[in-house]
Amino acid sequence: MTARRDFPPLHEADLEADPFAQFAAWYALAAAEVPMADAMTLATVGADGGPDARMVLLKGHGPDGFRFFTNYGSVKAGQIDAYPRGALILYWRELERQVRARGPIERLPAADSDAYFATRARESRIGAWASPQSRPLADRADLDRRVAEVRERFEGVGEVPRPEFWGGFVLRPETIEFWQGQQARLHDRFRYSREDGSAWRIQRLGP
Ligand SMILES: Cc1cc2nc3c(=O)[nH]c(=O)nc-3n(C[C@H](O)[C@H](O)[C@H](O)COP(=O)(O)O)c2cc1C
């Protein structure tokens, strides 16, 4: 096992006043140093009132929030439609960093989903059409048959269009927390929070 790396402490004076600028700086380093820096846990509220969670990929971040894409017929999308709030976590082990965000979630405009879908490889677009995400399949052959049907349907079609049942969401954070691991579990934690578009407030939290 390699020795544990020591990471510089995080001081409030080093933080950006805007958490999205802070996130952009951390994400740029993570994207350069950490495999799958874009993998994040998305937590939503289930129909039974209990939490649910799964991994999704971060596909954009900025002042409006954190964006991800999925099947609008999936369990997660149904949960978001019913209770449009959630939480995200990114963990970058190689940097001993964690980012957490909570807030309302909205669907992205169709044009944004179209723009992202257009960047996907043809096979991924076919997969989006073919997979009845979160619904039962008889067996693997059932999935393979659906894929074959979609391939046939779009044979000779240059650009596979985005299915209406597939698109993006944005989580608009009300709180964002930056966590930097330190020795002896005395980690540095800073939470940004704001109410109704007011200025962001930064607080250090106990680890
Ligand atoms: C690393 C990783 C990244 C994933 N990214 C996505 C994604 O961006 N969108 C998506 O719909 N599912 C993604 N998945 C699959 C989801 O975790 C999940 O299985 C699927 O979306 C169905 O979730 P649901 O039934 O809660 O809706 C990813 C899984 C892993 C392990």
134 lines ligand 1 (CB under 6 A): yes
Task: Identify the pLDDT of residue 198.
Answer: 84
Residue 139 maps to a domain: yes
Question: Between 5 and 2, where is the model more confident?
Answer: 5
Expressed in angstroms and rounded, the spacing between residue 41 Cα and the centre of ligand 1 is 9
How far, rounded to the nearest angstrom, does the alpha carbon of residue 60 sit from its chain's CA centroid? 8
Per-residue confidence band for 1, with pLDDT thresholds at 50, 70 and 90: very low
CA distances from 179 to 22, 130, 160, 192 (A): 12, 39, 41, 12
Same domain assignment for residues 52 and 151: no
Which residue out of 52, 61, 70 has the highest number of ligand 1 atoms within 8 Å of its CB and is therefore the one to mutate? Answer: 70
Residues 101, 153 within the same domain: no
Are 112 and 147 in the same domain? Answer: no
Q: How confident is the model at residue 52 (pLDDT cuts 50, 70, 90)?
A: very high
Residue 48 belongs to some domain of the structure: yes
pLDDT of residue 4: 60
- Answer yes or no: do 82 and 155 share one domain: no
Please indicate, yes or no, whether residues 101 and 62 belong to a single structural domain of this protein.
Answer: yes
Please indicate, yes or no, whether residues 99 and 33 belong to a single structural domain of this protein. yes
Mean pLDDT of the chain: 96
Over range 182-189, report the average pLDDT.
93
Say yes or no: 56 and 146 in one domain. no
Kindly state whether residues 153 and 172 are assigned to the same domain.
no
Which helix (DSSP H) or strand (DSSP E) does residue 64 occupy?
none
Answer yes or no: is 193 within a domain.
yes
Q: What CATH number has the domain bearing residue 98?
A: 2.30.110.10
Ligand 1 centroid–CA 54 distance in Å is: 6
What DSSP designation does 183 have?
Answer: G
Atom of ligand 1 nearest to the CA of 134: 25
How far, in Å, from the CA of 57 to the mean position of ligand 1? 8
Q: Please indicate, yes or no, whether residues 21 and 110 belong to a single structural domain of this protein.
A: yes
Q: What is the mean pLDDT of residues 136-164?
A: 97
| Domain assignment present for 7 | no
Which of 130, 145, 161 is the endpoint of a domain?
Answer: 161
**Who wins on pLDDT, 184 or 37?**
37
Residues 18 and 78 in one domain: yes
Number of domains comprising the chain: 2
Question: 160-183: per-residue pLDDT in tens?
Answer: 999 999 999 999 999 999 999 999
Question: Is the CB of residue 163 less than 8 Å from the CB of residue 129?
Answer: yes
Determine whether the shortest distance from the Cβ of 51 to ligand 1 is under 6 A. no
From 67, 120, 185, 194, the catalytic residue:
185
Residue 101 lies inside a defined structural domain of this protein = yes
Average pLDDT (105-114) is 98
Is residue 192 in a domain?
Answer: yes
Report the separation in Å between the CA atom of 194 and the middle of ligand 1, taken as the mean of its atom positions: 29
Q: Which atom of ligand 1 is closest in space to residue 52's alpha carbon?
A: 26
Domain that holds residue 132: 119-161
Terminal-residue alpha carbon distance, the chain: 26
**Domain co-membership, 90 together with 147:** no
Determine the distance from the C-alpha atom of residue 138 to the mean position of all C-alpha atoms in its chain, rounded to a whole number. Answer: 29
Q: Residue 189: its pLDDT value, please?
A: 98
